Structures are given as C-alpha cells and as structure tokens.
Structure 1
Amino acid sequence: MTSDRDDECYDVFIVHSSEDNSVAEQIDQGLTDKGLKTFAHYKDGIFQVGRRVFDNVLFAISRSDIVLILLTQNALSSHWVTFEILIGLEKSYRENAMCVRLVFQGVSETERLGFKTGTLELIPDIVVDFSEDSWKGNLVSKIKEKVTMRDILPAGNVAHGLVFSYYFGYLAYVLPATKEAIKKSEYYSEEANIFSQKFVIIIPASCKPKSIEGDYGDFLIEKMPKPLEMEFTHGDKKRKYNPTVYKITKTQTTESFFFSADIPFILATMSKMKELGFADIDLRFQVPRFRMTLRELVDHRNNPKCKNTSIIIQFEDKDAKTSPAKDIWNALQDEFSDQKETALLSNVVSSEGELKDRDQHVTAIVTYSSDVEADKTLAEEIMNFFMEKNVKFSNGDAKMQFKGLSRSRWNIFVVSESAVKDVTMAIQFEAALAKSISEDKVQVIPVLVQNSDINRISPHFACTTLLKKEDPAYLDKLWKTLQAGDTKMVELLPAGVVYEGLAYSYFVNYLPLNLIGKTEEGRDFKGRFDDGMKKYNGCCKCVYKLFVIVPASCSIPGPGTRFPKEEHLGPLEPVVIGFRKYFLQLYRLTLENGEQVCYAREYATSVITLHKMTGLVFSGLNGVEMKDQVKKFVEFSRTIVENPLFNERIGGNIVDKCEIVYFDDKMGQKMEQVTAVLEERLQEYIK
C-alpha cells in the first residue's frame, strides 16, 4: 500500500522557518480562501514523519507548481530556506518557467533590497501587509503571474556539479582508505587514542581554500610534517593522495587530538567565478548547497564504504581571525566522548509489541534510555497510548533488538541530549534507518524529549523529520504516520545542470593555471614544449596546443593508453602553484605521409563524474541524460574558452592554446577515428 500523498500535487508549497508557523498559517489560509491547494511545513502530516528532511524538501518541491518562500526576520539567515530557494530555481531551469516567489513580511525595505541581490534579483517578490484588505488578491496575482526564464540563468547548479566532481575525483578514494592510512601513520602508533578515525572536510563560506593552522587563542592547530599516503588511478592518470594531518590543542587544558583534513580546492572554482565576474554566482546559496549535497552523498545508503567516515564543517571566514578551530574541537570531542561512554550500554531498553493495522499485522519497537527519567516517562507514555490502540507490549528487558528489528514494521526512538550519546542507541538507530532506506519505506520515527535542544542533537539522529513531545498533538501525529501505510523513504535528487559545474571547475580552476602559468624555471606554455622537445629528442614539427579529449561514454581508459600511430614521449616541466603541480603530456603522432608531429593531449577527467553518477541511484542521472550532458559540457566549454571576457579576466589567452575534441565512442567510433581527427587538426596547424 502506498500513501495517497505520494501522488498528490499542489499549487503552492509554502517554505518557512519553524519560528514562523503562525505567519505561514495566515498566508496558507489566505491562499486556500482563494481556491489554491497548498502544501506547508507547519501542517500536520505534510512533512512525512520518519522521512529524511532532505527528502521531504525534494518531495514537496517536485510536486508543487510554485515554491513560495516566506521571508521574515527569522528566515533571512536560515540555511534550509536558502537551500529550498536553490532547489526551486533548479526546478525552474528544468521546466523553463520561474516557479519561485518571495514573500517578505515584517522586513524593512533596506533588508529586502539587501537580500534581493545576485541570484535573487531574478525572482518575483511581494511584500505582504496583513492590515491591507487586498493582500490575498495581490499575493495570488503574483503567484499566477507567468514568468519566463531568462536566456542566461545564474549558475544555480554549479555547487551540485562540484560536489560530485569532488566526490568522484577525491573522496571516493580517500574516505574508504583513511582509517587504514591513519594506522600506518607514525603519529598513530603513539597517539592512537586521540587520533580521529574520521576525515574532516572543512568548507569556508568564502570558497577560498587556505591552511587552517595557526594560534587562535583558545585553540592551537598545527600542521604535522608527514601527511597520510595513498595512491590510486583516476581516469587515465595515476595520482597520489596525501591528506594533511593536523594536531589541535586546547590551550587551557593542553588536551589534544590528531585528525586528517581537507579544504576542498574545488571550492576555489566558485570564488574565482565571483572574482572574475564572468558568471553570476551567489555564494549564499552555493555553499549550503555544496555542504548539504555532500553530506547526503557520502552518507547515502548506496555508499556503505563512505558512510560515517567523515565530519563536515562549514564556517564563516570573514577575516584572518576566524577559524573552524572551535567547531573542529567540538566535533572531535563528541566523537571520542561517544567512544568512551560505553557505561550506558545496559540502559538501552527496547520494548516491542504487535500493532494490528487494518489489513496487516506489524511489529512496533520503542527504544529508549531507561536511566534518564524524562526518556523513560516519554517511552511509557507512547507505549500506554499504543496499548489504548490495541498495541500489546511486553515488559521485556531485551537489549540490542536486532532480531526484532529485522521483522519490525515501525521503530520508535525516544531521543534526548543524553540518549544520543549512547553507543548502543546510535548503533540500533543506524541499523533501523539503514533498513528503512533499503526497503524505501518510512519505518523510523524519532520522538524528541521535552526541553531537549534540537541543536545539540547529532545530525545522525536529526536527519529524519521528528516528532516533539512539546507538541500537544504528537501522539495523534504518530498514529497518523503509522496508519498512513507505505510511504517512500527516498526522493531522487534531479541531476540538474551538472555539466556547468564540471566545465567551470575544469576551465576556471584548472586549465588556465596549466596553460598560462610559468614553471619554476620561468618557462611559459611554448617554452615548456621547446624544453620537452629537447629533452625527448622530438626531432619533428611541434604544434603548441593541448587537445582535450571528451568521449561520449564519459569513460576514460587507464594510464598508458595510446591512440594508433601515437607515441607518448613523457611529461613537460610542470607549473607549480602552492603544493599542486600541473603537468602536460607530450605525444608524437605519425601522419599518413610519414611526417611526425608533437603535441600535448589529455582527457577531460571532469566528465568521469557523469559516467560514475549513472551508477549512483542518488544522483538521478541515467545514461540518456549523461549523453545529453556531456554534449552540453563540450558546447559550454567551447563557449567559455572562446569568450573574450573570460580570457581577459584570467590574465591570459587560452583560446589559442587548447582545443576540445569530442568523439561518440558509444556510436561505434574507434580510437582510429580520434587519430584521424587529431591528424586533420594537426595538419591544419602545421600549414
């Protein structure tokens, strides 16, 4: 049985901060009075209890014609509100019609104008004054107004593409290998008890990666001399991955932790785009989008190797004095506190009973920490309510009900600040949630104990939409959820315009550095070729060009693969910027007339992301869409490279230094055909 609400559609989805329930209710009633069918956060049963918050948002937006964002003093700084605006903009792009509207209420004109900058300039908005009789009609008119998308949409999907690029190019290798690499580290042998097993990912709001080491008063972060060591093959290149090891010390107590961390270099794509002024990008939306999508990706059910292997920290780096030190310390302290608090293991109690539904028998289990009076009282209240509904619970004292879990239909967890620290509770919750997601049915229902601070509840427990004891109707909502039948657990995230982020990453954050930068010896692009020709005894003509190969399959052969009649001579002297080295590979091709020509080429490794996304359910990208996106990647990349403003802003001309070569290997084109294309282009250049 599937819940009816899974197939329902709505005229308007009202997005609002939880502090604005009363305002949202007033707007909702006004729209209902005008005959619109609405969907709103505050309504009972609208956001499905037990479904992940991320999925509830995607569900609501995908089934609503208009996304109405209520902006009050409470909502202006909400990360969830900005995230929902961006998802709405992506829906607008897919449907080629603006479906987002902004409603300002109780906000000054100065604040409204300050908020409506960048991306938000495109979105129709209205100020609602409840004292005016005409507010309902004016709002409905704004909602029904047809707004065509502009030809050039702000870069709304850049962060989404960058997340997948960062994951497949780095995290997919590093996260599963971190624990073993740590054990081989010289610091681990002496500091095993204070070396975090999780990889810390630090996201600066400015998108300007920089070292986190330094003295920050209460905390000292030191960069250790030796990083972790890993080596993998990505696309056609062998790569060494060396995550940095840090030591953080609380100066007052001299307590310390060791941890490995990364500040994603790919984020610089967005800061550079903003600085260049080449594309309209709003970091207020892109950074939360990057963080939220990354968290969903690394902890997804289809990603067991990466699940629970990372800590993601976003921080405001407004000046040199701000740092993520405190957030890092708190996250590591929580990790080690969880490991130490094993004394509570005997206090986790699971009581189970049979719940008679209309047409089936299902089992419900209530799990709680019995040594906390408030938790115990709430659990008893839930069980007493179930008994009134013909749910018979035993007074069993069973621990770790994995056997019961495997046959249970519903798992209710009493959640409090103390309960979430219990290792047994965490393991049981994780197992229940994994079962729920794998079966694609809502099964896990957290209930928050009264007076517990939701902000102090681990995201591990708060990732699903929960009930609150402080809500007088929480038991009725619980019962409605159980009676609703099977509700889907996971919403697929539409892949959106991934190619934009991939193209910007490759042509803003990588290629110009390689083509315009100089080596430590001062050699420019042409000088690197001349040096390579001498080094490898080229003895032939040279085309000073990098050919970027893009296969339609987005699948790249392994290292050492050569095209027919081609010889790999070796790498040119690299451009070194910071700790990164940018190489070009020199090749020699024998033409049909026997003449030989040297040139550089590489695969556009960014498109590997599209290929790998098709194998990940969460991405929402299938093979047909992949082929469409890779074609758009090629077209968009050529647009970037040939744009005079882009070449001017990056400080040098790359249009005459590279060329994109696309071939449809899915249509039977062989490497011989790529050679033919290369030969044709080389002959043109040597003329």
Structure 2
Amino acid sequence: MSNQRKRNKIDVYLIHSAEEKSYANTLKERLESYDLSVVTEDDTEPGKYHVQGVSSFVQSCSKCLVVLSESSHNSAWCTLELLLALEKSHRLSTMSVVVLRVLGSTKWQFQLALEMLNTVPRIDISSFSEIENEEILSQLVCLLKDNRTMEDILPAGNIAHAQVWSQYTGFLYYVLPEIDKMIGSTELHQANRDRFPLMMYELVPGNCNCPRIIEDIPRDENRKRITLMKEKTGKITYIHAGNTRTVDLPIYRVTDHDGTEYYCVLEIPNVLLGIQKMIQIRTPSKLQDVDVQMHMSKFYYTLAGILNHPNLPGTYHKARVITFNEDQAGFVLAEEILKAVKEDLKPYKQHDTSIPRKILTDRRYDAFVFNHEEDNPAKDEIANFLEEKGLTLCYESDRIGGSSFNFSEQLNDSRWTILVLSKSALHDPKFSHCCFMLVGEFLRTKRLGIIPVLTDAGHEDIPEAIRIVTYTAVDNNRMYLERILTTLRGEMIPYDTQSLMPAGDVAYVLAWNYAVNYLVDVMPGLGKVITETLKTLNMTPQTCREKLYLIIPKSCDCSQSLVEKDERIKFVKTTPETHIGNLNRVYTFDLYKFEFEGKEYHFAGQYPAPVACLRRMYDLKVAGINERKMSSQVEKFCEEITTVLEHKMSEHFTNFCEIVFYDDRKLSLSEELARRIDSP
C-alpha cells in the first residue's frame, strides 16, 4: 500500500469489546499483512471526545468490521458503533459493515444488529483461534474489499408500506367507497340497523397469525362469541390492473355478555399472509429475517394513517384498524371488536374511527420526553399541550444519578418516548449517542415506541436507525400536537392535507408478495383453463401458448384494458374461475388475439397488480412517489420478478410466465408481443 493511500484512507475500522482487545490486535496484524490499513478505538486522537472519535473513524473508513461475540453484543459502545456504520451505509447506499461472528453464545442483552444484521456480510467462526486460518482470513479480506451497494445486500425496502399500499390500491380503494351499500343491501343489516355499523374492520394480529375464518381468542368450548354468518355482503365488481374482480365480504356475529348480538364486516388483510409465506418457502435472505412483531406494528400504523387521510376521501372514515396481542393477559378478541362496533354505532358521534389500544397500560407515564437543552421551547409546547389533555409525562431533567446513556428506568416506566430532534441537536455527538441508545433499547424489546418530532430537521436529517414509521414535524397550525396525542392514545393518526406518508423502496417486496400471494396459487392451473377455453372455441391447443404474459408498461399506466391499450388487440374469452386466498376470491385469465403483419396471434395476458399499485401511489400524491421514483421502482420490480421466476418456489411455472416490459410511449403492445411470441 502506498504512503499516499495510507495518509488519505482507512480501509477498516475494527469494532470490538474491551474483553477482546488481545484478539483484536492479532486480527489487526493479520489484516494489515493483506495490505489493509486498520484502526481501532486505541487510535483515537488524545483529548478527543470518545463519541467524536468513534464517529470520525466510522465516517472515514471504507468498512467497519464488527467482532460480534457475547461481550460486544452486550456493549453499549459497540451498539453505537454498529448503528453509526449502518446509518452511513444507508446514507451512502454502500454496504459499510462486515461482521465476524464468534459462535458459542446466543443469550445476548442488546438487539445489537437491528432487523438487518443477519443480512450484513458475515463470517462465522467457532473460536478466536480460527483467526489464524488462512482460508477464513481470505474470505474475510474479500468481504472487506467488496464494494456492493445496499440494494444488493440489505433488507427489502419498506415491507410494511409495500404491503399496506398493495392492500389499499388493489382492494380497499375499490371496496370502501361502496361499503355502506354492500352492507346496507343485506337482510342482516336491514333487520339489525342499530347493531350493524356501515363500516369495515381490518384486524391486524400482532403475531401475524392469519386464520381463514376469524374465531374467538381465547377459545371457549362452552360459549362461542364470534360466528361467521352464511350471508355475505352485496357484491361489487371492479377492474384493477385491467382485470375484472367480483368481491363480497364475510359478515360476523359478535355476542355481548348479556346475549345481545352485533354484526360487522371483519377481515384480516390478505397481504399479511405474504410475510409468513415468504419465510416458509425460504425466499432470499433479504426477506428471511423480518421481525414479525415490529413489522405488524409498522403495518398497523401505516394502514391506520392511510385510512385516516383526508386527501383520500373515498376511503376516509370507512374502515377501522384493530390491532391486538392475543398473548396479553386477559385479552379477549370479542371484547376488542365489540368496543369498536359500539363506538361506531353511537348516535350523533363525531366521525372518529380511532380506538384505544390495550398496550402497556401498566406504565406510570404516558410518555418520556427526551430533547436537547436547546430545544426546550419545543419540548415545553408539547408538554403543555399533552398535560392539558390529561397525559402524564416524565422528562430528561427528572433523571437522577446513573449513566447519562442508560434510559432503562424511563423506558420501563413509559408507554412511549417522544424524541425532539433539531439539526443542531443531531450534530451534538452526546445527544446522537443517546438517541442511538434509545433506539437500541426499543429494538431489543421489539417495541415500536418512539415518536420523533422534527423541529427544523427534515426526514433526510434523521439517522436511518431512528427513522421509525410514526414521525411528525412541527407546524404553525399545531396539527403536529394532535398527531402526537392520538398516537399516545393508540389511535389512528390524523394527517393534514399536506402530509405525505413516504413509502420508500417498495419494489422488492411488491414482487415477492405478488409471487407468494398470487402467482404460486394461480399459475399451476393456467394450462388447464387455457386448454378448456380453447376447446369451447373449437380451437386447437397450438392456437395459444400455455403461458401468461405479464404486461408491464414503462409508464405503469394500467387503467385501460389491453383492448383499449392497443386497438389491434381484441378480447376473445375469459377462462373458468379460480378461487384463492383467505376470502376465497375469484380470479380468471383473459385470452386475446391480434393481427400483426398479416399473422394472427392469441395470448393470455394481464398487468401485474403491483405495477398498478405503483401507478396509484403516484396518482394519489400522498405516498411521496414522483414520476422519477415510480420509473425506478417499476424497473426494480421487473428485475426482482425475474429473480422470483428463477427461485425454487417458481420451478413448476417458470416456463409458463413471461415478463413483457416495454416503453408504451414509443412502442405498441401488439408489436412487442408479436416479437416475443415468434421467438422460440
């Protein structure tokens, strides 16, 4: 290595606990023999504040190498260093972390690795003596010299947002505007108007247990309080992604303690099955290490926020989201449902679809407020408002004794933590360290309990590690205070008309969700229904390939049917029905034909629903997706769906599915299809 390179660049910052110092020094020497420059915390400049030194090394090195053992896993300093490295990785979109994991203990205090550590490049060794093994050392050096991007390695974008928007754009967007008519047309509602609200209830189980039929939790063999009725709601038919769908919804009877029978439309969002399926069928590691409990919390708040967004008038206050933890002592699902139903049946009630959540009710305080001393005015405004509303708070100033980085007492005593963030506060190393320690504690306990409040800071200023779903910004009309209040009460989050709900990178999850919740179920029957349909038309099997063409226009515009998209294309016939999913929904394929350059072609084709989802997210203007972002997401979706079709779970239909990605502003669909069908 040249002297110039040594002066200008650090290759590796070695993160280890004090107990492993001798092993770390040995490892440092071995790595330097491979022409890598390595520093440890011992190389911090004398007199420099320790957190500043750590941060400086993390920012200036190419890679952070974390020696992950029981000692380092329980070290607050190692937690800080890893969080800083992960934050840098996200900011620069380059993987800056490598893990050397020493096996032998799995009983760790801190959830050091967040949700993503298992997907960070890693080498496992059984003991420190294996550092001398040349093969292992060579593998480690290769990882340290690797320049892969975050997209190549880290988890699959925003899983919760992807699933919520998929549920919303493909189902709720069409159903909720008609929900009052669907329910009102039933005999059950006409006979029980005062006990059957014109609302839909979305159940979000904290453990992601998604039964096909909703039943009592806990079960009581002597008394059944939740019963699926034979009658369903009225049907509606809508066209989504160019495909016709007919939907009716299940009706449940819920019996009160006094025998009074109430009725409601209940469902567990079908997309939630995707998480369990993706784990069960062993999708790539990006989706294997999802923390289900954290995911369900994010899903709840994201869906609740969308359904309570005034810029979406068709679905505004048409549904209520109920999340629950069936393992909580004394929990009874029927009681949670009845509480919501009775609230919605109150005469002259203000239209409020919120419902308190029975979570952490045994805590002394509603919230712990943590802020930098320069942000006391913002803290005072928040505190005065909340205390006037009857909430109990504790503050950083209440802490007496103990480490300034130890928040366990405050977090154990409080249901939520309000984190006031300004640009100046985030530039204070000690304050930033405290923020990371707070996040580490919540990740360790798998609670989504932080509400970041931004004063003059923007979303991009928040370290990636603390970009929690529920965050709000100070505004002149004090709407942000209402958002904090309803979050603390465990209610749906109100948004003003300017509020966005940034969706982030959703393409990866949309692709896998589409595969496990749709393609895996419907594709095995494709050949059979095409053959049956051709017989009814007196056509030979050779007329139409047993293949489904997934039509993906670059514009993501799936509002028109394929017939409207290209005047050459003519509809032929719809195949027999296929029933899949928790709600036994009906799905079909459509056959088409067209002529091109004197030759007639037949094909089965459809738009993938996730492409329509991306377009709807763009059109609705509340998902934080612009045209450039939409274009990049659809290209990522095409790349990932290609990977999906190469995965083992797709092996029985890989050859019966083809992606047709084309620029619909420059090329006709029939021309592109003719080229593909003629290809061997």
TM-score class, shorter: 0.5 to 0.7
Specify which of 297, 307, 311 is matched with residue 316 of structure 2.
Answer: 307
Residue aligning to 1:254: 259
Question: What is the distance in 2 between the residues matched to 1:176 and 1:527?
Answer: 36
Contact persistence 1:437–1:490 (CA under 8 A): no
Specify which of 588, 591, 595 is matched with residue 586 of structure 1.
Answer: 591
Deviations 1:562-614 (A, max 9, x none): 645443221223333462333222223435353x3432111122211111111
Contact persistence 2:167–2:269 (CA under 8 A): yes
Question: What is the distance in 2 between the residues matched to 1:447 and 1:503?
Answer: 32
Contact persistence 1:513–1:582 (CA under 8 A): no
Deviations 1:333-373 (A, max 9, x none): 3434585799xxxxxxxxxxxxxxxxxxxxx9xx99xxxxx
Specify which of 229, 232, 254 is matched with residue 227 of structure 1.
Answer: 232
In structure 1, give the amino acid aligned to 2:653: I
In structure 2, give the amino acid aligned to 1:192: R
Is the aligned partner of 1:576 residue 2:579?
yes
1:246-285 map, 5 Å? 246-250=252-256, 252-280=257-285, 281=287, 282=290, 283-285=292-294
SS at match of 1:662: strand
Deviations 1:130-187 (A, max 9, x none): xxxxxxxxxxxxxxxx998653222342321121111011111222222233222222
Q: Structure 1 residues 377 and 155 mapped into 2: Cα distance closer, same or farther (>3 Å)?
A: closer
Question: What is the distance in 2 between the residues matched to 1:233 and 1:514?
Answer: 18
In structure 1, give the amino acid aligned to 2:491: P
Specify which of 498, 504, 511 is matched with residue 506 of structure 2.
Answer: 498
Question: What is the distance in 1 between the residues matched to 2:626 and 2:604?
Answer: 32
SS at match of 1:253: coil
C-alpha displacement at 1:641, in angstroms? Answer: 0.7
Question: What is the distance in 2 between the residues matched to 1:533 and 1:489?
Answer: 51
TM-score (norm 1): 0.57
Question: What is the distance in 2 between the residues matched to 1:616 and 1:438?
Answer: 24
In structure 2, give the amino acid aligned to 1:279: P
In structure 2, give the amino acid aligned to 1:112: Q
1:19-98 map, 5 Å? 34=50, 93=90, 95-97=92-94
In structure 2, give the amino acid aligned to 1:675: S
Q: Structure 1 residues 289 and 448 mapped into 2: Cα distance closer, same or farther (>3 Å)?
A: closer
Residue aligning to 1:68: none
Question: What is the distance in 1 between the residues matched to 2:280 and 2:517?
Answer: 12
Question: What is the distance in 2 between the residues matched to 1:256 and 1:501?
Answer: 40
Contact persistence 1:219–1:326 (CA under 8 A): no
Residue aligning to 1:677: 672
C-alpha displacement at 1:443, in angstroms? Answer: 4.7
> How much identity, in percent, do the aligned residues show?
26
Residue aligning to 2:548: 546
Question: What is the distance in 2 between the residues matched to 1:90 and 1:249?
Answer: 50
SS at match of 2:653: coil
Q: Structure 1 residues 458 and 257 mapped into 2: Cα distance closer, same or farther (>3 Å)?
A: farther
Question: What is the distance in 1 between the residues matched to 2:476 and 2:619?
Answer: 18
Unmatched 5+ stretches in structure 1: 1-31, 38-75, 77-84, 103-107, 126-145, 343-363, 369-373, 379-435, 465-487, 518-524
Contact persistence 2:157–2:509 (CA under 8 A): no
Contact persistence 1:514–1:575 (CA under 8 A): yes
Question: What is the distance in 2 between the residues matched to 1:243 and 1:377?
Answer: 40
C-alpha displacement at 1:440, in angstroms? Answer: 6.9
Residue aligning to 1:142: none
Is the aligned partner of 1:169 residue 2:170?
yes
Deviations 1:69-110 (A, max 9, x none): xxxxxxx9xxxxxxxx99x989954641579999xxxxx972
Question: What is the distance in 2 between the residues matched to 1:242 and 1:636?
Answer: 32
Is the aligned partner of 1:509 residue 2:513?
no
In structure 1, give the amino acid aligned to 2:153: I
Q: Structure 1 residues 245 and 339 mapped into 2: Cα distance closer, same or farther (>3 Å)?
A: farther
Question: What is the distance in 2 between the residues matched to 1:211 and 1:491?
Answer: 36
Contact persistence 2:157–2:504 (CA under 8 A): no
Residue aligning to 1:656: 655
SS at match of 1:619: coil
Question: What is the distance in 1 between the residues matched to 2:326 and 2:334?
Answer: 11
C-alpha displacement at 1:35, in angstroms? Answer: 6.6
Residue aligning to 2:557: 555
Question: What is the distance in 2 between the residues matched to 1:684 and 1:341?
Answer: 62
In structure 2, give the amino acid aligned to 1:551: P
Q: Structure 1 residues 583 and 304 mapped into 2: Cα distance closer, same or farther (>3 Å)?
A: closer
Deviations 1:612-649 (A, max 9, x none): 11133331100111111111111111111123x3335x
Unmatched 5+ stretches in structure 2: 1-47, 54-73, 75-81, 100-104, 123-145, 352-380, 392-471
Contact persistence 1:591–1:679 (CA under 8 A): yes
Question: What is the distance in 2 between the residues matched to 1:448 and 1:491?
Answer: 14
Residue aligning to 2:36: none
SS at match of 2:261: strand
Question: What is the distance in 1 between the residues matched to 2:565 and 2:539?
Answer: 17
Residue aligning to 1:426: none
Contact persistence 1:209–1:267 (CA under 8 A): no
In structure 1, give the amino acid aligned to 2:298: R
Question: What is the distance in 2 between the residues matched to 1:661 and 1:675?
Answer: 11
Q: Structure 1 residues 550 and 89 mapped into 2: Cα distance closer, same or farther (>3 Å)?
A: farther
Question: What is the distance in 1 between the residues matched to 2:270 and 2:200?
Answer: 16
Contact persistence 1:199–1:261 (CA under 8 A): yes
Question: What is the distance in 2 between the residues matched to 1:33 and 1:90?
Answer: 20
1:193-212 map, 5 Å? 193-204=194-205, 205-206=207-208, 208-212=210-214
Q: Structure 1 residues 558 and 207 mapped into 2: Cα distance closer, same or farther (>3 Å)?
A: farther
Question: What is the distance in 2 between the residues matched to 1:377 and 1:679?
Answer: 68
Residue aligning to 1:187: 188
Question: What is the distance in 2 between the residues matched to 1:459 and 1:101?
Answer: 40
